[in-house]
Structure 1
Amino acid sequence: MTPASPLHIAERIVEAVLAQKLAPGDRLGEQELADNFAVSRTVVREAMVQLQARGFVQVQPRKGWFIVQPSADEARDAFAARRIIESGILQEAGKPMQTVIGNLRKHIAHEKNAIDEADAATRAFLLADFHVCLAEQMGHKLLADTLRDLTARTTLAATLYQSTHSASQSCAEHERIVQALEDGDTDAAKQLLIEHIGTVERSLAFAPDEPPEAEAANRLRNALTPVSRVG
């Protein structure tokens, strides 16, 4: 059997993020990964460096590699980038769409099945992967790769900031997008797609922004609050 490459390991980790099986702040032990993929720690480190360059992991001295915890601004940037790219993809929706629509409907059927079976990991992965699938079906392989990373970043944000957007709601919104494409109404499909991404973003519980000085002052104030004593 061919040993796992750094790229293969990196893609498996991104897939686990999309499935919400890895969460922000999770530690990625080099030895555990090396054992899991039957490779050396050198290969694992190469995979981690790739993921670091893609913005998914960070290294902490003497502690190891960890899944990043995106800031509110980083999350907003990822959602904004997705809106621009995904709406642009639909610009070319005028070409024959029968095969595209058929494949997207199959994808949605898999989403519904995962929701019905309460398969949380598969459900999360498929709902995120719908957007990658849309790019692939429209013939944009390069953009599909970019969208996979952006969608994984927004998935981390949804996990970290406790999204209230339900799986069934996402699936229903996907259906409306595909129906608009099938009806030949590209403008409506684009608007529905933009609204869908915006709805997911607005469902996140971002803390109100405050200046770093105020944040530091609040932390110090809280730290110096007298400790309750018993007796």
Structure 2
Amino acid sequence: MYKSAKRGSSVYESLRRAIIEQALRPGVKLPEDSIGETFGVSRTIVRNALVRLDAEGLVDIQLNRGASVAEPTIEEAYDIFDMRNCLEREVMQRLCSMDPKPIVKALEAHLKEESASLGKDSTRSIRLAGEFHILLAELTGSRILANYVNEIVSRCSLILARFAQVHSAECGVEEHVEIIAAIAEQNAEAAIEKMGAHLHSVQNRALLNPEDSREENIVEILSRYRGIDKAN
């Protein structure tokens, strides 16, 4: 039972990261048999992982049609960004009322990783940009707030994968620097303003792209994600 649960968690984490890093793009089919063969697990384990991702809005499961990476509509995109603004505004408010030293230390360590990935590893850069915002929420100490931000940031990755211009999905590292500076000064008004401007610029980059006709090889893509829970 424990071994099965561990395998299921590994498949879930691998699929989730592949979606967030935009290796698996919106609309890509997720056949249970191919995924099971890639990770060496049963279709039942794969199905459970897909159900979890469906609950998070990252996968769309349809009766008799199977699962695919979710394809947010433009209306959903605007709604998600509105909700994200509300959540991250609350994050800024809470962080600026706390001792800034440990917060800034953690954020600067993450920023160092972001900077190192720019121009070298686009998939890692995309993921780290989103994880910066998740880390902000985690540092508030509110598990509920962190869970909500985690889910909505992940769904924003899908929006950017579907609508953004090529290579425009990376959050601006310089904008992250400005947000950290405002938190260090415990200036809630400035932090909220910087975060709002940052999210507005991310949203503005979400412009419609021509349909990408490239054929996705899911086995080839997911083979790069085997064992990520062991490596991280």
Q: Does 1:30 align with 2:55?
A: no
Q: Does 1:112 align with 2:115?
A: yes
Residues 96-111 of structure 1: matches in 2 within 5 Å? 96-111=99-114
Q: Is the 8 A contact 2:107 2:136 kept in 1?
A: yes
TM-score (norm 2): 0.81
How many residue pairs are counted as aligned between the two chains? 206
Following TM superposition, by how much is the alpha carbon of 1:162 offset from its aligned partner in structure 2, in angstroms? 2.1
Going from structure 1 to structure 2, the CA distance change for 1:165 and 1:143 (only over 3 Å counts) comes to farther
Equivalent residue for 2:174? 172
**Which structure carries more relative contact order (alpha carbon 8 Å, separation 6+)?**
2
Calculate the aligned-residue CA RMSD, in Å: 2.2
Q: Is the 8 A contact 2:8 2:48 kept in 1?
A: yes
Query: Of 122, 136, 145, which residue of structure 2 is paired with 1:134?
Result: 136
Q: Alpha-carbon deviations, 1:77-123, whole Å to 9, x = none?
A: 1111111011101222211110110110111110000004x101110
For 1:178, the aligned partner's letter is I
For 1:25, the aligned partner's letter is G
Q: Is the 8 A contact 1:164 1:203 kept in 2?
A: no
Q: Alpha-carbon deviations, 1:45-82, whole Å to 9, x = none?
A: 12212222222212345542100110001111111111
Partners of 1:127 and 1:106 lie apart in 2 by 13
Question: Does the residue aligned with 1:27 lie in a helix, a strand or coil?
Answer: coil
Partners of 2:38 and 2:82 lie apart in 1 by 36
Q: Is the 8 A contact 1:115 1:167 kept in 2?
A: no
Partners of 2:141 and 2:133 lie apart in 1 by 13
Query: Of 82, 87, 90, which residue of structure 2 is paired with 1:88?
Result: 90
Query: Of 40, 43, 46, which residue of structure 2 is paired with 1:44?
Result: 46
Equivalent residue for 1:183? 185
Following TM superposition, by how much is the alpha carbon of 1:6 offset from its aligned partner in structure 2, in angstroms? 3.9
Going from structure 1 to structure 2, the CA distance change for 1:127 and 1:30 (only over 3 Å counts) comes to same
Partners of 1:195 and 1:151 lie apart in 2 by 16
- Percent identity reads 28
For 2:100, the aligned partner's letter is M
Question: Does the residue aligned with 1:172 lie in a helix, a strand or coil?
Answer: helix
The gaps in structure 1 that reach 5 residues or longer are 208-231
Partners of 1:107 and 1:69 lie apart in 2 by 29
Partners of 1:65 and 1:101 lie apart in 2 by 40
Question: Does the residue aligned with 2:22 lie in a helix, a strand or coil?
Answer: coil
TM-score (norm 1): 0.81
